[in-house]
Amino acid sequence: MDERKKQVLHAIITDYIETAEPVGSRAVAKKSGLGVSPATIRNEMSDLEELGYIEQPHTSAGRKPSDKGYRYYVDYLMQKEQLAPFEAEFIRQSLSEHFSEMDLLMQRCCQMISRLTNYTALVALNTQQHKVIESVRLVSLNERQLLLVAVLKGGEVKNRLIRLRESVNPDQLLSLERFLRQNLTGADVGKLELTVLNELLAAFSQQQSVLRRSLELFNDFFAPHLGERFFSYGTHNMLSQPEFKDYDKLKSIIGALEEDDVLRSLLENKAADGKTSVAIGKELGEEDMQECSIVTAPYDMGNDAQGVIGLIGPTRMSYQKAVPLLEFMAQILSELHRKD
Amino acid sequence: MDERKKQVLHAIITDYIETAEPVGSRAVAKKSGLGVSPATIRNEMSDLEELGYIEQPHTSAGRKPSDKGYRYYVDYLMQKEQLAPFEAEFIRQSLSEHFSEMDLLMQRCCQMISRLTNYTALVALNTQQHKVIESVRLVSLNERQLLLVAVLKGGEVKNRLIRLRESVNPDQLLSLERFLRQNLTGADVGKLELTVLNELLAAFSQQQSVLRRSLELFNDFFAPHLGERFFSYGTHNMLSQPEFKDYDKLKSIIGALEEDDVLRSLLENKAADGKTSVAIGKELGEEDMQECSIVTAPYDMGNDAQGVIGLIGPTRMSYQKAVPLLEFMAQILSELHRKD
DNA sequence: TGTTAGCACTCAAGTAGCTAGAGTGCTAAC
DNA sequence: GTTAGCACTCTAGCTACTTGAGTGCTAACA
């Protein structure tokens, strides 16, 4: 892979990303600025094809990048495009507005990603991992209402109102609260299984119904699925991509993006190394998405939330725009936390 | 509009709903069971066209229903299809599982509607209208943490943790709690404007920072937009409809369905009379959706939530299936509440 | 040895012309 | 009022043809 081959590959990829048309030797000769004739370029292209970086849709067409070609481009050739100052400012502004409501914040992220790139945005939000219960309180609001409160390390609060059929005396209440505190303080919400709670429930089933009821309610406000959420926005952008002009293809992609299961499998493990990551075509491992690429960046808002922001588009994607954008946004999100 | 015309119209519409192809006189003659010849049917069809109930795509094609035709069908001709017992049971089961988590419940609704009909489901959820604050409490968790709690009539609880920079003495706390209780008890959360809260804030700005901070935080957990949510599912079903094989049309529809604003305008005011409602084609008032119909049914889960479930598909929609399905689901949702 | 011009060859996409078939409207007979 | 018959219309699908982009190969050149 000498220098000239790299330049040829680079020219082919950038041209193809722009036009979605196979690139011919003539166009490369002009665009690459190498000062050689199309015939020479043809030889290089023939080599590149043999090496697997580009491919020919049919004999008399130009070349287009293969997954391997994009991979090489992303890893070695691509020059990240700097964010326009107004874009950076816009992102910073929009994100700071919604800091306290995670759902809104993530919806906003999706909209921004999608609008700034014209691809489809994907976001995973985990609000419950490594959330340790710091304290448990059982507060009497009035004779017939108890409030069960769990404060998590980091400040989030979970609670549930419990309506009583009969009133309880303060002593009962105190012993109950003590019991809960002993059994739940220090527990990790993300790992609190229903079984654990059920065991607790069973162990104290001889006690009066008040307790049983409170534990039953604990069950579903700690349920693990509540901590993990997925957002997406901009699916309609898929329709503008010439590579998805096949209805069945499109249908299976759009259908898949509506399923949390699929989003989970696309985004999971992407936060592992803390770096922006690019998955191209078959690398995604999804049958229906062999012509898609996904770019993801993990963010960490401390105890409030961690997760991944990302986008999905055709493999012919403007990686040089997508990568720095997501990097920047993830950084801003992570910083939001520290400011607080 | 004599009896025979009605039968002809009915035959045309049911056939067209099934096949999406213009219906010819021969087909109607056979299918309607009127025992007259195609020529006779042709005369009737000519009349129906003049009356505006059906239209001809081009001279040598059959007829297809107009918006007016569908309207007549829905209002007078349609026979609601009874839900299959297993469908009813399935719905009942699925909905009872998720009763306590509104978001999940509504997502489930969407999935069911979409899967049982192969159209796109839309749901509006309002959890905050007519929610009156029953009591306000300010609970000290420890020296540096206060918990601000508002209990709403009906049992929902809203709260926010407040971290203090300096500790407060119990007297300050009590007077603060009293102040909040006096000013907020009985207020309607849905109508609590930022301005009101800001006035409160201003009025007490001379007090110590603890108070100010607590009020600031009140602001965003009562913000009205949080009470209104929209869900959709099954957008990919739009792709299977032959009427949407134009990419631009499809793109604008799918794009629109991703916007809360659009969903709001499509679903609002549909709960007014408490009945299932059908909006056909141009009746929707949306430029891009002239070839779509929406069926909606309001539900009322008391203080927990009210809203609208619905679905959107082509005007050539199986109304006789969609209407009873939504009616049934809305009824189940409303009953879920009463059971509790 | 690498580069280039020239040329024959290939293939997709677009265009024009044709045909088949479905369906109509009209007329005249029943 | 109903029906059969018939001429007419229009679309969808098919075939054949043309165009043009792009290639690979060869032979000449620096």
User: Residue B255 is part of a domain; what is its CATH number?
Assistant: 3.30.450.40
Q: Rounded distance, CA A184 to CA A207, Å? A: 18
Q: Which range, A90-99, A183-192, B278-287, has the best average confidence (pLDDT)?
A: B278-287
Classify the phi-psi angles of B47: left when phi > 0, otherwise alpha if psi is within -120 to 50, otherwise beta. alpha
SS3 B130: coil
Residues of B in contact with A159 (CB under 8 A): 149, 157, 159
Interface probe with A: pick from B119, B236, B259, most Cβ of A within 10 Å: B236
Which range is least confidently modeled, B85-89, B155-159, B322-326?
B155-159
Nucleotide nearest to A60 (CA to C1'): D22
B155 contacts A141? CB cut-off 8 A: no
What tens digit of pLDDT does each residue of A237-295 get? 999 999 998 888 999 999 999 999 999 999 987 767 789 999 999 999 999 999 999 99
Same domain, residue pair A232 and A217: no
Asked if A288 and A99 touch (Cβ cutoff 8 Å), the reply is no
Q: Rounded distance, CA A86 to CA B222, Å? A: 32
Nucleotide nearest to A37 (CA to C1'): C4
Same domain, residue pair B235 and B115: yes
Which range is least confidently modeled, A31-35, A60-64, A233-237, A278-282?
A31-35
Q: Name the residue closest to D5, CA to C1'.
A: B39
Which range is least confidently modeled, A29-33, B109-113, B268-272, B293-297?
B268-272
Residue-wise DSSP of A171-208: HHHHHHHHHHHHHHTT-BGGG--HHHHHHHHHHTTTS-
Residues pairing with B280 in the sheet:
B293
Residue where a domain stops, chosen among B196, B226, B256:
B226
> In the numeric block, which tokens belong to residue B183?
């000013």
What's the distance, CA B117 to chain centroid?
Answer: 16
Average pLDDT over every residue of A192-208? 57
Same domain, residue pair A178 and A143: yes
Residues of B in contact with A254 (CB under 8 A): 235-236, 239, 254
Nucleotide nearest to A58 (CA to C1'): C11
Residue where a domain stops, chosen among A226, A257, A282:
A226
Residue where a domain stops, chosen among A210, A226, A242:
A226
Listed as own residue / partner, the contacts of B193-199 with beta carbons closer than 8 Å and 24 or more positions apart are B194/B219, B194/B223, B197/B222
Q: Rounded distance, CA A304 to CA A302, Å? A: 5
pLDDT at res. A49: 97
Closest CA to B326 of B338, B308, B302: B308
Same domain, residue pair B114 and B254: yes
Same domain, residue pair B97 and B118: yes
pLDDT at A231 over 90: yes
pLDDT at res. A194: 54
pLDDT at A36 over 70: yes
Closest approach of chain A CAs to the CA of B1, in angstroms? 41
Same domain, residue pair A71 and A117: no
Same domain, residue pair B106 and B250: yes
Q: Is the dihedral of CA A313, A316, A318, A319 positive or negative?
A: positive
Who among B155, B221, B255 is closest to A163 (CB)? B155
What tens digit of pLDDT does each residue of B41-81 get? 999 999 999 999 999 999 999 999 999 999 999 999 999 99
Interface probe with B: pick from A258, A288, A289, A340, most Cβ of B within 10 Å: A258
Same domain, residue pair A161 and A50: no
Across all residues in chain A, what is the average pLDDT? 85
pLDDT at res. B143: 74
Average pLDDT over every residue of A184-195? 68
Of the CA atoms within 13 Å of residue A121, those in its CB half-sphere come to 25
What are the counts of helices (DSSP H) followed by strands (DSSP E) for chain A? 12, 10
Domain tally for chain A? 3
Same domain, residue pair A233 and A335: yes
Q: Rounded distance, CA B314 to CA B237, Å? A: 10
Residues of B in contact with A135 (CB under 8 A): 141-142
pLDDT at B212 over 60: no
Strands (DSSP E) along B13-156, which ranges? 54-55, 64-65, 120-126, 133-142, 145-152
Q: Which nucleotides of D are covered by protein (CB under 7 A)?
A: 2-5, 8-11, 20-26
Average pLDDT over every residue of A208-230? 59
Closest approach of chain A CAs to the CA of B63, in angstroms? 27
Average pLDDT over every residue of A215-230? 62
B161 contacts A151? CB cut-off 8 A: yes
Residues of A in contact with B100 (CB under 8 A): 220
Distance B61 CA to D14 C1' (A): 21
Boundaries of domain holding A181 = 133-226
Output the domain CATH number for residue B210.
Answer: 3.30.390.60
CA distances from B215 to A152, B40, B153, B210 (A): 22, 76, 21, 9
Place of tokens 């922001």: A309
Output the domain CATH number for residue A12.
Answer: 1.10.10.10
Average pLDDT over every residue of B221-227? 57
pLDDT at B192 over 70: no
Same domain, residue pair B101 and B235: yes
Same domain, residue pair A156 and A107: no
SS3 A67: helix
Residues of B in contact with A115 (CB under 8 A): none
Per the model's pLDDT, the better-predicted residue between B97 and B195 turns out to be: B97
Of the CA atoms within 13 Å of residue A154, those in its CB half-sphere come to 21
Same domain, residue pair A231 and A335: yes
